Amino acid sequence: MMNKRAVGSNKEDQAARFLIEHGLKIKEKNFRNRFGEIDIIASDGPYTVFVEVKYRKTAAKGHPEEAVDVRKARTISKVADYYMVYRKLPSDARIRFDVIAIEGQELRWYKNAFGYTR
C-alpha cells in the first residue's frame, strides 16, 4: 500500500507521460515557493503551461477537477508569477493553466482550465 505522497507522485508521473505523448515538453515538476506548488510546468508550442494534477480513486468525494477552485487557481497563479520572474520569461509570455484529473483509471485533460486569477 502506497502512502498519499507516493500515490500523488505516481499520478503526476502518469500525467507527465500523457503530456509528453501529446507533444508537450516537460520543463519542471513540483516547482515550489513560499506561495505553493505547481505540479508540472511544460511547454506546448509557444505556451508555457502550468499543470495541476488531481487524483481521486472514486468520485465518492467529488470529481478530482472540482478540487481546483478559485483559491487553488489563485495559488497556482501566484506561483506562476514567481516562476516567470525566476526563469526570466518575458512579461508578454504566452501562458496557460491546465488541469489533469485522474479518477480511477480515467484521465481527463482540461486545457486552459482557468485564467490567471488574482
Instruction: Read off the C-alpha cell for 104.
Output: 480511477
Separation of alpha carbons 86 and 113, rounded Å: 24
Strand partners, 94: 47
From the options 3.40.50.300, 3.40.50.720, 3.40.1350.10, 1.10.580.10, give the CATH code of 4-113.
Answer: 3.40.1350.10
Q: Write down the domain spans for the chain.
A: 4-113
pLDDT confidence of residue 92: 92
Q: What pTM, to 2 d.p., does this model score?
A: 0.95
pLDDT confidence of residue 110: 98
Cell numbers 479518477 correspond to: 103
pLDDT confidence of residue 76: 97
pLDDT digits (tens, 9 = 90+) for 4-24: 888 888 999 999 999 999 999
pLDDT confidence of residue 1: 58
pLDDT digits (tens, 9 = 90+) for 76-109: 999 999 999 999 999 899 999 999 999 999 999 9
pLDDT digits (tens, 9 = 90+) for 52-83: 999 999 888 899 999 999 999 999 999 999 99
Length of the chain: 118
Residue 55 CB partners (closer than 8 Å, separation 6+): 7, 8, 11, 64, 101, 102, 103
Mean per-residue pLDDT, 24-44: 97
